[in-house]
Amino acid sequence: MKFTGLLVVALLTLASAAGAPYAAGGGSATFQYRVTFVNVKGTMTGVSSSVELNADDLAATTGTVSVPLVDLKAGNSLRDSHAKGALDTGEFPNATFTLEKLTGGTLMEGQTLATTGSGTLTVKGVGKPITAPIKATLSGGKVNVSTQFKFNPLDYGVRYPGGADSITVNVAFVLAAR
């Protein structure tokens, strides 16, 4: 490991003893949802996050992730409009995940850590507890974060004629020290 890599790890270790503030902007999210016989795929850009990261004790990490549903793109303007209407993005422009707990582990430079995040997913003003697998890779003082999980949109009051009872969501962003 180069000297700069050791320095980054040392600084992260010192800063993370009580949790250090990290933030992300410009992340992305994708989804897959089946409506009648059509697989609808969509994207959202501008995913942001604010985290108190303890690289030595991930279980002490807390934070939030915000996905701008108002920026949802589902392939054409009619689908976009229908999806935004079902999600009531005029009143609820974002979906949020409030991280309450991560399973333990230690982030190490250049290695990907698989962990599980537990918290509250809020969609359309309805919050429900979920757990999601999370992959985190420490690289040059930044943490690349990604997850894929499923949930039932009906549990959140999202109803669309012919819509499935499961949606798959992928979220990715890069955390940097604030």
Q: What is the mean pLDDT of residues 5-34?
A: 67
Q: Which residues have CB under 8 Å from 163's CB, separation 6+?
A: 33, 34, 35, 86, 153
Q: What is the mean pLDDT of the chain?
A: 88
Predicted confidence (pLDDT) per residue in 29-82, tens digit? 999 999 888 899 999 999 999 999 877 778 889 999 999 999 999 989 999 999
**Collapsed DSSP state (helix, strand, coil) of residue 59:** helix
pLDDT at site 178: 87
Cβ proximity of 12 and 61 under 8 Å? no
Predicted confidence (pLDDT) per residue in 95-114, tens digit? 999 999 999 788 889 999 99
pLDDT at site 4: 29
| Residue 12: pLDDT band with limits 50, 70, 90 | very low
Reply yes or no on whether the pLDDT at 19 is more than 80: no
- The phi and psi torsions of 93 (rounded to 5 degrees) equal -70, -15
CATH code for the domain defined by 3-177: 2.40.128.110
| Chain-centroid distance, C-alpha 77 | 25
CA end-to-end distance (rounded Å), the chain:
25
Cβ proximity of 69 and 90 under 8 Å? no
pLDDT at site 24: 95
**Strand pairing report for 112-123 and 62-68:** unpaired
| Chain-centroid distance, C-alpha 14 | 26
Q: What is the mean pLDDT of residues 11-31?
A: 73
Task: Using CA atoms of 46, 50, 55, 60 in order, give the dihedral in degrees to the nearest 10.
Answer: -130
User: How does DSSP classify residue 160?
Assistant: -
Distance CA 164, CA 139 (A): 38
Model's pTM, two decimal places?
0.86
Domain residue spans of the chain: 3-177
